[in-house]
């Protein structure tokens, strides 16, 4: 191991206790996405730490997209490697959640809201920056850190919500996400499935139920929507890494969709052929090509109607884009795996994309050629009141991440 890497290890060991204290403090601040002041308080906590390390920091306004805003920290180094590091400040646990404070399960495990997803990852970023500074390496790197305030419940429009993140991705050579992937320390994410939503609507001829299936009346809206969903399953359910989930369905003589699109009501009678039906769902694909292929298949199925029915499907293209596997992400996995083994922490392999949901790293797709995610804190039960993080791995993850950045900075092709 290079002497600079030994200094990184020494620094992480020195500052580990302080990092764990910072993590506890962060977890004890409620930062549910819609608790704007709490999100900003966590942002201020991490801003203070990054200020100490010489970063130029700012807390942005989220007024334009209905959220708290983001923490953006910039370090301008010598010409060479340009790194984007991604975290987020918010959690799924709002002020009305019963889950509000950190507690120790044992010497290795902390239970608390957001400890794994992803305040642990944020603290790992800060600890890695401290180690690079102590080793005299930070000045050789240009780094932008974006910790978003709306990863768990994105603001709208996404074009504004994710602008700082996308702009940073366009600038960067390498993007590293510090989500916790599938919760295992031996994995990182080189592909994440994107997420978009869809709405399917069908219509039929309202009539007395005794006339259903006749040439004049046809099959009705509910049979038509059932046909379509069945064919979606038959044609697409076996495709690897593709899922499409109908989240709720309404059908009858009339339907009333809630303004937020998250539910509604239906009215109908058993002796009346239903006139209206509606389904809303999501669609997850591992690449843009797979996503477009699935959409075309779904559209074709929708167009082949039962007698006297019609159907239309629409897609919300404002969702999270797929973060597809690239040569660059595979290369980063190779480097990271070698570093882990050099440190004595064992092999690292890629997360199955089915086990990695959409995340902010997705917005780097198409903008930066080398990107991975899942460098954060291992743990379990994210998004539940049983969420835990393996706090004895904070130092492990910080060492691996900092040495990865150092080794990347020595690559000649990143030099201007």
Mean pLDDT for the chain overall: 95
In tens, the pLDDT along 138-197 reads: 998 999 999 999 999 999 999 999 999 999 999 999 999 999 988 899 999 999 998 899
In tens, the pLDDT along 267-313 reads: 999 999 999 999 999 999 999 899 999 999 999 999 999 999 999 99
Q: Is the model's pLDDT at 2 over the cut of 90? A: no
Residue 413's pLDDT is 66
In tens, the pLDDT along 312-365 reads: 999 987 788 999 899 999 999 999 999 999 999 999 999 998 887 779 999 999
Residue 416's pLDDT is 46
Residue 412 confidence class, pLDDT cut points 50, 70, 90: low
| Closest of 400, 407, 403, 353 to residue 378, by C-alpha | 400
Residue 319's pLDDT is 80
Q: Is the model's pLDDT at 394 over the cut of 60? A: yes
Q: How far apart are CA 80 and CA 268, in angstroms?
A: 66
CB neighbour burial string for 110-138, b if at least 16 within 10 angstroms, e if fewer: bbbbbbbbbbbbbbbbbbbbbbbbbbebb
**% of the chain residues with pLDDT over 70:** 99
What is the average pLDDT across 116-132? Answer: 98
Residue 256's pLDDT is 96
Residue 78 confidence class, pLDDT cut points 50, 70, 90: confident
Residue 414 confidence class, pLDDT cut points 50, 70, 90: low
- All structural domains of the chain, each given as residue ranges with its CATH number in brackets, are 3-192+323-414 (3.40.630.10), 195-320 (3.30.70.360)
**% of the chain residues with pLDDT over 90:** 90
CA atoms within 13 A on the CB side of 62: 30
Residue 181's pLDDT is 87
**pTM recorded for the entire structure:** 0.88
Residue 278's pLDDT is 98
Q: Is the model's pLDDT at 415 over the cut of 90? A: no
Whether residue 105 contacts residue 388, with contact meaning beta carbons closer than 8 Å, is answered with yes
């Amino acid at each position: 191991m290079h002497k600079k890497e030994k200094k990184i290890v020494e620094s992480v060991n020195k500052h580990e206790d302080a990092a764990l204290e910072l993590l506890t403090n962060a977890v004890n601040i409620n930062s549910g996405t819609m608790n704007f002041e709490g999100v900003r308080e966590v942002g201020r906590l991490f801003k203070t730490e990054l200020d100490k390390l010489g970063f130029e920091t700012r807390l942005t306004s989220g007024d334009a997209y209905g959220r708290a805003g983001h923490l953006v920290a910039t370090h301008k180094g010598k010409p060479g490697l340009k790194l984007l590091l991604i975290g987020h400040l918010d959690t799924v646990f709002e002020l009305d959640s019963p889950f509000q404070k950190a507690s120790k399960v044992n010497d290795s495990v902390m239970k608390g809201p957001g400890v794994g997803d992803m305040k642990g990852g944020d603290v790992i970023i800060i600890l890695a920056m401290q180690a690079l500074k102590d080793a005299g390496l930070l000045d050789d790197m240009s780094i932008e850190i974006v910790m978003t305030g709306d990863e768990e419940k994105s603001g709208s429009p996404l074009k504004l919500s994710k602008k700082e993140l996308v702009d940073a991705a366009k600038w960067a050579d390498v993007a590293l996400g510090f989500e916790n992937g599938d919760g295992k320390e031996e994995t990182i994410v080189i592909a994440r499935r994107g997420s978009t939503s869809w709405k399917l609507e069908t219509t039929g001829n309202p009539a007395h139920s005794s006339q259903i299936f006749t040439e004049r009346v046809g099959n009705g809206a509910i049979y038509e929507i059932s046909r379509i969903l069945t064919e979606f399953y038959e044609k697409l359910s076996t495709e690897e890494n593709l899922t499409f989930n109908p989240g709720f369905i309404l059908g009858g003589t009339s339907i009333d969709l809630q303004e937020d699109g998250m539910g509604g009501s239906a009215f109908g009678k058993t002796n009346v052929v239903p006139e209206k039906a509606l389904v809303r769902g999501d669609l997850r694909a591992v690449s843009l090509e797979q996503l477009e292929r699935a959409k075309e298949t779904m559209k074709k199925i929708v167009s082949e109607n039962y007698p006297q029915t019609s159907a239309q499907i629409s897609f919300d293209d404002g969702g999270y884009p797929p973060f597809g596997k690239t040569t660059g992400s595979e290369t980063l996995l190779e480097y990271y795996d070698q570093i882990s083994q050099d440190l004595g922490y064992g092999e690292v392999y890629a997360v199955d994309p089915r086990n990695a949901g959409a995340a902010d790293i997705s917005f780097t797709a198409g903008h930066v050629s080398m990107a991975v995610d899942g460098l954060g804190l291992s743990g379990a039960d994210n998004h539940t009141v049983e969420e835990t993080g393996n706090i004895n791995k904070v130092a492990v993850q910080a060492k691996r991440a900092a040495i990865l950045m150092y080794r990347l900075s020595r690559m000649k092709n990143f030099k201007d």
